[in-house]
Chains A and B, each alone.
Chain A
Amino acid sequence: MRRFAKTLALSILIATITGCAADRVVLLPNADGSKSALVLKTKTGEQVIDQPYQALNVNKSGSISLDKESPESVRNRYGEALDAQPKRPTSYIVYFVTGKDEIAQQSLVVVEKVKADLKTRKAPEIVVIGHTDRVGNVEGNDDLSLKRANVMRKILLANGITADRIETAGRGEREPLVPTDDEVSEPKNRRVEISVR
């Protein structure tokens, strides 16, 4: 009995020493409301959390305990890191006139949106990918898609974005937004996709 008490006291002591200074993770809700999950592994165990504000504590020995946070407690404890979060990437689509590297009239407003977005970002980077529909041959469309991307690139350069922050590519008719047969005119496929981050 005495031996048992001794062992118990010792294990409590060890638990106290190793139990403090835990690492932890808190799952936050996805901004788009979609479901998410985290898989946590330690040297002694594994656990999955899939509900927002569920938290897991891990002590130095690797044992895991489930915990619960709230929007307020996360704000209090991790506000500093959350406040440093860069602006989320956003994507835009600008449509083009058939067979040309001319922006469709109704998309000029999108170009203005892109410009406005860039002004709100710190050290913005942009990826510009040009596409075509399936009218014309593959080679010609490779050419046209890149020309379309370059139209957007020029607008960005004119708005103070430096060349080293812009990545440009043309994908021709290979990645249609709306799949069609060959030689089908499809306005939704005549586009430039602009990803801003």
Chain B
Amino acid sequence: MSIITKKTSMMTGLIMMMSMGAAYADNDAGMIKQTKGAVVIERGEQRLDAKQGNRVLVSDRVVTGADSSIGITLHDGTLLSAGSNSTLSINKFVFNSTTNAGELDASLKRGTLAVVSGKLSKTSPNAVTYRTPTMILGARGTEFVIEAN
């Protein structure tokens, strides 16, 4: 292979790799996989109806009403699901899908939350934090439920 074609193919490869990379924005944390009843995403001043397939962004607050629930999968594979009368905030989410490094910080102000940890909590200890008004939880490769009153 001549030097020129080698260089060209290397560049094309690089450009292709970059352009085919992350299909979502930097502040994108995950996706709503299912909802039941009345669920609202509070995003700054906006109040949006939460629907299956909608994206969840960093700083979003998810609020469920009576007889309502929501299931979210974050980009690292973390499963978050909240029962009725719950308020869940995604305070921080950073995930590098190549190295599996990053950070997750979420808080449950009230209600119930079931968690199945994703790749983040397996790679970097102390990378994942859950909070309620009275506690701070560190989780590593764990499944659990939280309740806040």
Interface positions of A (Cβ within 8 A of B): 21-31, 34, 36-43, 56, 58-60, 62, 74, 77-78, 80-89, 121-123, 125, 127, 137, 139-140, 142-143, 146, 149-150, 163-170, 172, 195, 197
Contacts and interface: CB of A to CB of B under 8 A. Distances in A.
Contacts of B79: 85-86, 88
Contact of A25 (B1, B31, B140, B146): B146
Contacts, number: 180
B123 to A, nearest CB: 15
A77 B83 CA distance: 10
Contact of A37 (B36, B53, B142): B142
Nearest to B126: A39
A84 B83 contact: yes
A23 B84 CA distance: 16
Contact of B144 (A38, A43, A80, A146): A38
9 contacts: A37-B142, A41-B135, A42-B134, A85-B81, A86-B34, A123-B52, A143-B13, A167-B20, A167-B97
A26 B115 CA distance: 10
A37 B140 contact: yes
Contacts of A37: 140, 142
A143 B16 CA distance: 9
B9 A139 contact: yes
A197 B33 CA distance: 9
A26 B33 contact: no
A176 B36 CA distance: 43
A139 B6 contact: yes
Interface size, B (range): 35 or more
A167 B23 contact: yes
A78 B142 contact: no
A30 B137 contact: no
Nearest to B33: A86
Given A81-B86, A83-B69, 12 more contacts: A23-B135, A24-B147, A25-B137, A25-B146, A78-B145, A88-B77, A121-B33, A123-B31, A123-B33, A150-B20, A169-B20, A172-B13
Contact of A38 (B16, B32, B137): B137
Nearest to A143: B13
A28 B9 contact: no
Nearest to B148: A23
A154 B45 CA distance: 39
A40 B142 contact: no
A27 B144 contact: yes
Given A24-B147, A84-B81, A86-B72, A36 B140 contact: yes
A122 B20 contact: no
Given A139-B6, A170-B17, A86 B71 contact: yes
Contacts of A81: 69, 81-83, 86, 112-114, 145
A41 B138 CA distance: 8
B26 interface: no
